[in-house]
Amino acid sequence: MPDKRFGRAGGAGEAIGDRSATEHGCLGGIPMIEQYVLDLHEIDETQVAVVGGKGAHLGGLSRIEGIRVPAGFCVTTDAFRRIMAEAPSIDDRLDQLSRSDPDDREAIRTLSAQIRRTIEEVALPGDVAAAITRALAGLGEQAAYAVRSSATAEDLPTASFAGQQDTYLNVVGPTAILQHVSRCWASLFTERAVTYRQRNGIDHRTVHMAVVVQQMVFPHAAGILFTADPVTGNRKVATVDAGFGLGEALVSGLVNPDVFKVRHGEVVAKTIAAKQRAVHALPAGGTQEVAIDAQRQEQPALTDGQAVQLVQLGRRIEAHFGRPQDIEWCLVDEGFQIVQSRPITTLFPIPETGDQENHVYVSVGHQQMMTDPMKPLGLSMWQLTAMVPMHEAGGRLFVDVTRRLASPASRAGLLDLVGRGDPLVRDALETVLDHDDFVPSLPDAGPGGPPAGGAAAPIETDPALVTELIERSQASVAALERDIRTKTGPALFDFLLEAFEEHKRVLSDPLSIRAIMAGMEATWWLNDKLGEWLGEKNAADTLTLSAPDNVTSEMGLALLDVADVIRPHAEVVEFLQGVEYAEDAAFLDELAKLAGGTEARDAIETYLDRYGMRCVGEIDITRPRWRERPTTLVPVILDNVRNFEPGAAERRFEQGRQKAQKKEQDVLSRLRALPDGDRKADETKRMIDRVRTFIGYREYPKYGIVSRYFVYKQALMEEAERLVQAGVLPEKEDIFYLTFQELHDVVRSNQVDDQIVQQRKDAFRSYQALTPPRVLTSDGEAVTGAYRRDDVPAGALIGLPVSAGTVEGRARVILDMADADLEAGDILVTTFTDPSWSPLFVGIAGLVTEVGGLMTHGAVIAREYGLPAVVGVEQATRLIRDGQRIRLHGTGGYIEILP
């Protein structure tokens, strides 16, 4: 039986809430009081549990000076609990519902209809009905009312639930109102509301329903006000949608609204629509659609002055609730009445700076090929070990580039650098620069020329340098593993802060940076010069095939070797086909009991010893590593067993090396035939040697970072285990929702704020629904950028060409490596690929991603393996369906969807 709320609901004086309270027994001498009705003026936004999200916001609105809210009351969640307790067999049906698959629409439709019918058939208890009719008598029994659902998981900062439950307009008479209250309760279980909760991980039993009963207003015009632009996210631009009659015509999509954009107290843009229909109230109750006179259809529903006045009211409401609002309004007798306000949950948050200056932020996730949200521990660890200051918003990290954009000299360098890597970021930054005066123009810091101390000397093309850098990194990780073993408790955190400084020292090693830049600059030089001299597009793509010392491409080939060990043992293959993704490392122990299983286990263990610190989204320390969840690799191993012959790794590498060598000979011989050809050929040969020496090392620093991260994580998880044993935390993974400093404090004090952990979990869940922009301004404008190209066929999807070649094949849209089921010739389509995806690259014919640049990991590995690849294709995983045949133009940078 559902629990009852104990204690007062927060009503004051001789209000409706007091008159309709009923005592039911007592607890420890304290009466248990259920309040069935509360007047809107008794309520504020803290009482979501009592009156639901809509009711709480209306109560809060009614307390704001100068905001008119139609009079009314709320039927509280106490009444709903009472009904649920009296509804027969409701518990069994809720159990069935919670067990049902969110994608089984037929089962959900049937169960939710049964629950609604059961609730509507429960007779209202006399005291509940009496409380509602008493409240109606105080407002006018025969007046018209809006009866509106108000769920406790509704109009929240992290989930709006907009349109999930029912609203009834122009309801007249106590009998009809009581009937519609029951319908609102039942609407908690509409098919759409049930599915929404299941997809958002919300337990049906934790959500309760209140009902708002409010006097109807019969407006001249009505509509919606967004106090931030819902399309761009700009917090300085408000958008007003307006139409004639009741707002229902707009909400239901019956008419196109007039749209007013208001900024700084003036209308900066407007569109007046032809409004052919409106919804009006009927005298006896209910509503109907009516046609609007032809001469009125194109008249604006609001004047510019009224739109500005409405936005001023909206700013007052926004200030009260502390965040941008989606507000439903009515224009009555030349004054505005507000009938609803909820947070806009689709806006990407803005980094907090504490100042009022303009800022421009560039996404770190788009550079690191990881645009998913990170948990607080992951965010803080990346910030503590990064070389530049970073700002958090929406579970993502951003770098503030405002000062570099403000100075003409540094601006040109920044735009050139980001443009080479990701043209969409450059275009987005140029879009922001086109906004008048948003980025201040500062004088250059000093005269041009090399920095103090002279420019860095050109690096020598010597493979021994790469060997030395790798050995340095390995030695640093080994020292970390050795020294951390004896550290526990607060001493561990002191040690880690020192380790982070060593981490940054390794990252900022001047020789390492010069080696990385040498490979990248040689790539750009070859593409530019061979394009100019020979008309070759992206020539470096072939010249870098099977470059040495690339730890990420070696990782993919090494898994082919693991498949070679497993392939001869049918019993092992069959066992692996039955392994579930969620299983832990125990399956490796089971392997040893099978024929050939010991060899298979040893091969996987050896692979994990070298690469087990990697995983999807590996810049977030909280993500499960392959060593922690080796089952992640099983689908890829099985694909390799099925799709390749023994010895494939060595053959592929050698084929790539020979292809690169042949390309080099071809390019040099063609250059020598040109005017001044010997000089051009000699310069090109130097650059080819340089790119083959250094481009593989481009992947090693990330490998070093992730290796160190796994050492940090193992030590922190041991601390988490101690906290669980001490009863401080219910589960180890709760530390992921604390920052590094907060975790340090918890370890020192043996105390944790459970509420913060829960709030962080809720926030993280909401961040997963957000798409981070490449560029974000302090006004909240999310700028994605666009490709300014006209050299692609009509209907093609445009992206950035990062690895040459053209291929046709079946598109496999894969969002999780664990779902990989690839055949030879498939083209992988996904949101982003970090190094952990490279084992999949050996088995595909081409690559399409939504995120990426010329020098991000996926692009580098695609070139190494000779895979045609196009990255930065906006919404590729939505526009390309799994199984469709596509033609990928890796040289031209576009994808055609084939019939």
Locus of tokens 């100068």: 66
Locus of tokens 């007003």: 240
CB 158 within 8 A of CB 345: yes
Please give the structure tokens belonging to residue 578: 């039955």
Query: Could you tell me which residues are beta bridge partners of residue 828?
Result: 812, 847
Strand (E) positions, 173-295?
Answer: 209-215, 221-226, 237-244, 258-263, 266-271, 277-281, 287-291
H or E element that contains 399: strand 396-400
Residue 273: C-alpha distances to residues 238, 243, 244, 246, 258 (Å)? 18, 9, 11, 16, 5
The catalytic position among 503, 569, 857, 889 is 857
In terms of C-beta density within 10 A (0-12 exposed, 13-18 middle, 19 or more buried), how is residue 316 classed? middle
Residue 449: C-alpha distances to residues 228, 411, 445, 453, 454 (Å)? 44, 15, 12, 11, 9
Please give the structure tokens belonging to residue 314: 């909206």
**3-state SS string for 251-286:** HCCCCCCEEEEEECCEEEEEECCCCCEEEEECCCCC
CB 758 within 8 A of CB 210: no
857 flagged as catalytic: yes
Compute the distance between CA of residue 890 and CA of residue 859 in angstroms, rounded to an integer: 11
Please give the structure tokens belonging to residue 511: 């020789």
Name 377's Cβ contacts closer than 8 Å, sequence gap at least 6: 621, 622, 716, 735, 736, 737, 738, 739, 740, 743
> CB-side exposure of 58: number of CA atoms within 13 Å?
32
CB 852 within 8 A of CB 671: no
Q: Per 3-state DSSP, what percentage of the chain is helix, strand, and coil (rounded to 5)? A: 45, 15, 35
The DSSP symbol for 716 reads H
Please give the structure tokens belonging to residue 245: 């009659």
Compute the distance between CA of residue 849 and CA of residue 856 in angstroms, rounded to an integer: 11
Residue closest to 67 by CA, chosen among 341, 250, 261: 341
Give the three-class secondary structure for 167: strand
Compute the distance between CA of residue 339 and CA of residue 331 in angstroms, rounded to an integer: 11
DSSP-derived secondary structure for 73-138: EEE-HHHHHHHHHHSTTHHHHHHHHHHS-TT-HHHHHHHHHHHHHHHHHSPPPHHHHHHHHHHHHH
Name 555's Cβ contacts closer than 8 Å, sequence gap at least 6: 610, 611, 614, 835, 838, 839
Q: Are strands 846-849 and 869-871 parallel, antiparallel or unpaired?
A: parallel
Compute the distance between CA of residue 135 and CA of residue 75 in angstroms, rounded to an integer: 10
Locus of tokens 């122009």: 170
Torsional sign, CA 191, 196, 198, 204: negative
H or E element that contains 575: helix 570-577
Residue 623: C-alpha distances to residues 371, 620, 713, 818 (Å)? 13, 6, 10, 14
Name 639's Cβ contacts closer than 8 Å, sequence gap at least 6: 820, 821, 822, 840, 843
> Which residues are known to be catalytic?
857
